[in-house]
Structure 1
Amino acid sequence: MPAYHSSFNEEADVRLVGNLSLLPFKSKIRGPAPIADPNSVDIIDETLDLFRANSLFRNFEIKGPADRLLIILILFISDCLAKIAASRVPPSQIEATKTLNTLAVDNFPIPGDANFPLNAHYATPANRIEADSLRQYLVQARQETAARLVEKLYADGTGKPSKWWTCFTKRRFMNRSLGN
């Protein structure tokens, strides 16, 4: 059974940095990301929908630039779930929001950095300006992903993270992690 790929791979008029798509998404967070139609599915919605299915795969064939963004966001979600599971007592929704927002804005490697775990599959940004815009885009995407993940984790109203999400904390997509 093959892994699920991004439906945004064939999008036209998308800015590329290296070989990574900078896709539009819905966001309340300020940043350089293009604004998506509020009534349509964006890359973050797609990542959250595909996370649990794709996290079961050890191999992933990259079929386009949107898949590269999908991989980064799936690995970030894995790191978020690991961060939440690391605490002895399950955090409240407010505590989880603070923790994951801090994780989202912490310094992290981007494609081209020496400690980026998937450099073999990503092209480095052409110059410093592109690298800075990629970092800003990924910070905004990580913040929005963390906010939407918390909404999904605590959707049942019990005040505890959903076991149907936290059971994936031990799973490693492609046996990789973005964790520092």
Structure 2
Amino acid sequence: MTPDADPQREKRQHLWRLGLLVAAMFGFGFLLGPMYSAICEATGVNGRMKVVASNVKAGEIDTSRTVTVEFVTTVNGSPLWQFSPEQPRIKVHPGQLYTVSFYAKNLQDQDLVAQAVPNIAPGTAAPHLRKTECFCFNQQPFKAGEAKHMPVRFMLDPALPPGIETVTLSYTFFDVTKLAQQSASRPKS
């Protein structure tokens, strides 16, 4: 038997390789969240938006330019909601604040909590959308059968690239009732 053919040594090497593979997979899984956030921020994918509008000076409104903003809504996983924009689209001047409203109704006979997740397309417009008020900032509790008109106050930055003539702002409504109940039942530290 040659020293290179030692079965014990081969098993140890194989176990070391498998251990390194497991450690690499764990490390990749651990870094996946921060990597995803960094990639989304760099590319504008998943519509990362500024939460608060900066102070807008009167001279910053670009009245020479009009951009169409479309509003799209989706309800995830439950047909027992109504959720829609009150206006499917509006024309805006970059730099000017606008308020639009969305309608949502709980069609169930029980109380629910919803969370809206926003997205913006094209992704290159995401850094230029600034919101001062949005129902997507917080979870929205709904009583059984309750309907709400929920405002969104926003502006498009005048620095929006000139080639962008249409921006789509979409919201997906999720039922987060169980998550909200779990969060409320946890002791506060």
Q: TM-score range by the shorter chain?
A: under 0.3
Higher fraction of helix:
1
- The structure showing larger relative contact order (alpha-carbon pairs under 8 Å, at least 6 residues apart) is 1
Q: Which has the larger radius of gyration?
A: 2
Q: If the length of structure 2 is used for normalisation, what is the TM-score?
A: 0.24
Higher fraction of strand:
2
